[in-house]
Chain A
Amino acid sequence: MTNLLMLIPVALVLGLIGLAAFLWALKSGQFEDLDGAAHRILFEDDDPPPPSPSNTPAPKGQG
């Protein structure tokens, strides 16, 4: 009986932690782009070279 008194709160607290984690993830937008997240990791580069204005092309009128 006494172990019940301990185990039930433990189970509930663990469950609550899971619930809180899920609600946090939902709120912080972790589920906004499931497709993108799955693929993005495949293409992640090393840090791109520091951008300098010279290698930025100016837009042209005609493609």
Chain B
Amino acid sequence: MTAARTCRHCDSPIPAGTAGEFCCAGCEGAFHLVEGLGLEAYYRRRCVDPAVRPLKPEEESGSVHDFSAHLSVDAEGIATLHLMVEGIHCAACVWLIEALLSRHPAVTWARVNMTTRRLTLRWRAAEAEAQEVLGPVFLIGYRLVPYDPAKLGRDTERHEKDLLKAMAVAGFAAGNVMLLSVSVWAGHFTHMGPATRDLMHWISALIVLPAVLYCIRPFARSAWAALRNGRTNMDVPITLGVVLASAMSLAETIRGGEWAYFDSAITLLFFLLIGRYLDSRARGRARSAAEHLVALDAVAVTVVEADGTQRLLPPNRVAAGQTVLVAAGERIGVDGAVAEGRSDVDTQLITGESVPAAVAPGALVFAGTVNLSAPLRLTVTAVGERTLLADIVRMMEVAEQGRARYVALADRVARWYAPVVHTAALATFLGWVFLGTIGWQPALLNAVAVLIITCPCALALAVPVVQVIASGRLLRLGILLKSATALERFAEVDTVVFDKTGTLTLGRPELIRDGGWSDDDLVAAAALAAASRHPLARALVAAAPAAAIAADVREEPGRGMAAGAVRLGSRAWIGVADEAASAGPELWLGRPGRAPVRFAFADELRPDAAKVVANLRHRGLQIELLSGDREPTVRMVADRLGIAAWRAGCSPADKVARLEELKAGGRRVLMVGDGLNDAPALAAAEVSMSPSSAVDVSRTAADVVFQGGRLEPVAETLRVAVVSRRLVRQNFALALGYNLFTVPLAVAGLVTPLIAAIAMSTSSLVVIANALRLSGGRNG
């Protein structure tokens, strides 16, 4: 589009040929609404985020959710509603939404949380309906979806708060004890009296023991759970080390001894809690963003009762045999048979086929497809467990069980690390008792020193620090890591399997300039097409936005459009004799007295698809294409991208079968797909990725969700994963190298609390510094 002019409201380009300062009537209305309320400062203050959907009011802003189910009214008549907001670009949007809502006289509280993009709204229920209060926000172009705060992310939130509290307590205790410990260490050189030293130790004990009891819970819980299942993890040596260090220090203090490890115990916990907190926060953010995407897609179904009244119901509350109304452009929420109406149905998400299918009364349609051209009345045939959707979900579950339980690298290290450490400590004790000349008490002290010094502080930080930095970096690029081990699994991938429609391609057809038509033909065709929602008609209009809508257009669903004698539509509708079938979707324009003109369309590739595929191949990855679409289309895409291994017409089960085949051949497969038909394959693959435009089932199945119209995130994630793996391995080497150096000292009984503290802090800092290299430049 060449127009440099942008819409005053949504800031997207104004289509050529449209007069005025707005791109559409909706934007104009929104602008006047904002101006009328004296909030036009918004347009000066905002900065438009190109990654977010432009602030364009939807044409059917009336078809919003039913808020009543999520509304809670308290004893004083104040209604509370929690909503997720989509379309927030920057802080000015937050200000605008809050200002808009506060202007309503009934509203008592309106607050948008910018971090989570959630709105809490309270108003006097007797004075206004939810729709009335929220109306202006919809008109401006934001989308609001109610949610139940009790169900969404409460557990993670509480967990995160607990970790933060524990971290604060540990930090407080560590800081204060370090103050005392430094003076004790200094005392070793300046002959501090034993009374003063004991006082210091007692005060340290007083601070540390309650703090340790409080802060060790997250580790102890996880260690206990692991032990009960007959496994060990990193938390076992951590818990054991900290508890033993505290107990031994207490015993030493009571005895009036020289060495107490209170500072080591609490500093260790402090460092570890920082790692845990960062880890949980990074993953919590990605997960809440993913939940947000899923919830925004939740659809309500319009059920027509026997007496003709209409009700909005969630799909799971619709019964078989009921009649459901599906407006043009709406997603179908249930499986059903068409009772009334003719239309075209976009089945892309189910079958991967890019050309819509025509349906007439009696035809079966499936949940997840989109009704394109005319309203339909459906008789519900299946709900819940018996729908196609449920079948696919079941297939997905089976595939998921087949996916071998992946063991995180840290757990694999812990598996042999913990026994080795515990054996070393035991050997030290026995060695000193039987071979040495000292009593059992000093021998026990030395054994405990081994446990403290090997307490895997650096080891436990090695993975989370890298994970946090990697996931933060990916999050900034619009890539959400949903699974903790996704990056590790990504790094091992050697085969990439792509879906076609919506993954390699954008999933919407575009007009091909093949020279078979002139600009006049295009304008004439666009004049008819402008009245339709059919994706091909939309694509035609997008190519000729200046065209005015022809008068008196009528649409014959499943066939085409007509205005007087001019017709636009399928081959049969125009009356073209069925010549050799040509590949790909097409529209024909028929005018009296002139030869029919053919417009061909193709589902365009994502702009960087060829580059990304070439890049992946260059790295030695094997690329495959599995599509549910027809053979000619798939062959064309495969040829253009240079993918030799491709299969067309795959059912969901075929895709899973091919993945199993690859797996049996020892390949580690990354599956990238978006459709419902890909969901089982996504679950079956070693690791999987889904664009954010995918159906929610696929996004749930995928380990990674990426946003935007480009395919680059696939290559970027692989790259970050490989770099992360290298850093994690380096970190493990550093941490183990430090142990190799200090364990002999501990076994020999030469470790003092000062040495323990220095060794532990330096090794942790080295590991963190190493991980930080990932956030720097784009090396690697």
Q: Chain A residues in contact with chain B, CB under 8 A?
A: 1, 4, 8, 11-12, 15-16, 18-19, 22-23, 26, 31-36, 39-40, 42-43, 45, 48-49, 51-53, 55-63
The minimal Cβ–Cβ distance linking A56 to chain B, given in whole angstroms, is 5
* Contact present for A62 and B45 (CB under 8 Å): no
Chain B residues with CB under 8 A of A58: 132, 135
Chain A residues with CB under 8 A of B113: 32-33, 36
The minimal Cβ–Cβ distance linking B491 to chain A, given in whole angstroms, is 31
Chain B residues with CB under 8 A of A61: 61-62
* Contact present for A56 and B114 (CB under 8 Å): no
Among the 9-residue stretches B162-170, B310-318, B618-626, B685-693, the one with 4 or more Cβ atoms under 8 Å from chain A is B162-170
Q: What 0/1 readout, one digit per residue, does chain B (605-644) give for beta carbons within 8 Å of chain A?
A: 0000000000000000000000000000000000000000
Chain A residues with CB under 8 A of B180: 8
Secondary structure class of chain A's binding surface, majority of residues: helix
Instruction: Kindly state whether residue B437 has any CB partner on chain A within 8 Å.
Output: no
* Contact present for B91 and A43 (CB under 8 Å): yes
* Contact present for A36 and B114 (CB under 8 Å): yes
Instruction: Kindly state whether residue B231 has any CB partner on chain A within 8 Å.
Output: no
* Contact present for B104 and A56 (CB under 8 Å): yes
Instruction: Kindly state whether residue B95 has any CB partner on chain A within 8 Å.
Output: yes
Most buried by B among A16, A22, A26, A36: A36
* Contact present for A22 and B168 (CB under 8 Å): yes
| Nearest 10 Cβ contacts at the A-B interface | A59-B135, A39-B91, A36-B114, A63-B57, A63-B26, A43-B95, A33-B113, A19-B172, A61-B62, A35-B114
Q: What 0/1 readout, one digit per residue, does chain B (40-79) give for beta carbons within 8 Å of chain A?
A: 0000010000000000011101100000000000000000
* Contact present for A51 and B165 (CB under 8 Å): no
Q: In which size bucket is the chain B interface? A: 35 or more
A15–B178 alpha-carbon span in the complex (Å): 13
9 A-B pairs (CB sep. < 8 Å): A31-B164, A35-B115, A36-B114, A56-B103, A56-B105, A57-B36, A61-B61, A62-B61, A62-B62
Q: Which residue of B lies closest to A18 (CB)?
A: B172
The minimal Cβ–Cβ distance linking B608 to chain A, given in whole angstroms, is 30
A55–B34 alpha-carbon span in the complex (Å): 11
Chain A residues with CB under 8 A of B138: 59, 63
| Known contacts A57-B36, A59-B132, A39 near B168 by CB under 8 Å | no
A33–B113 alpha-carbon span in the complex (Å): 6
Q: Chain B residues in contact with chain A, CB under 8 A?
A: 25-26, 29-30, 33, 36-38, 45, 57-59, 61-62, 90-92, 94-95, 99, 102-105, 112-116, 131-132, 134-136, 138-139, 141, 161, 164-165, 168-169, 172, 175-176, 179-180, 196, 199, 203, 207
Q: Given A18, A22, A40, A57, which contacts B33 in the complex, CB threshold below 8 Å?
A: A57
* Contact present for A42 and B91 (CB under 8 Å): yes
* Contact present for B59 and A63 (CB under 8 Å): yes
A57–B164 alpha-carbon span in the complex (Å): 44
A57–B99 alpha-carbon span in the complex (Å): 14
Chain B residues with CB under 8 A of A34: 115
Q: Which residue of B lies closest to A33 (CB)?
A: B113
Given A48-B103, A57-B33, A59-B131, 15 more pairs with CB closer than 8 A: A4-B199, A23-B168, A32-B113, A33-B116, A36-B94, A40-B91, A48-B102, A55-B36, A55-B37, A56-B103, A57-B136, A57-B139, A58-B132, A59-B132, A63-B139
Q: Which residue of A lies closest to B57 (CB)?
A: A63
Q: Which residue of B lies closest to A16 (CB)?
A: B172
A15–B174 alpha-carbon span in the complex (Å): 11
Q: Which residue of A lies closest to B129 (CB)?
A: A59
* Contact present for B57 and A39 (CB under 8 Å): no
The minimal Cβ–Cβ distance linking B385 to chain A, given in whole angstroms, is 37
* Contact present for B102 and A51 (CB under 8 Å): yes
* Contact present for B115 and A33 (CB under 8 Å): yes
A40–B92 alpha-carbon span in the complex (Å): 8
The minimal Cβ–Cβ distance linking B205 to chain A, given in whole angstroms, is 13
Chain B residues with CB under 8 A of A35: 91, 114-115
* Contact present for A36 and B112 (CB under 8 Å): yes
Q: Which residue of B lies closest to A21 (CB)?
A: B168
| Known contacts A33-B113, A39-B114, A55-B37, A26 near B172 by CB under 8 Å | no
| Known contacts A39-B90, A51-B103, A12 near B59 by CB under 8 Å | no
A32–B94 alpha-carbon span in the complex (Å): 15
Chain A residues with CB under 8 A of B95: 40, 43
A60–B112 alpha-carbon span in the complex (Å): 24
Chain A residues with CB under 8 A of B141: 63
* Contact present for B114 and A33 (CB under 8 Å): yes
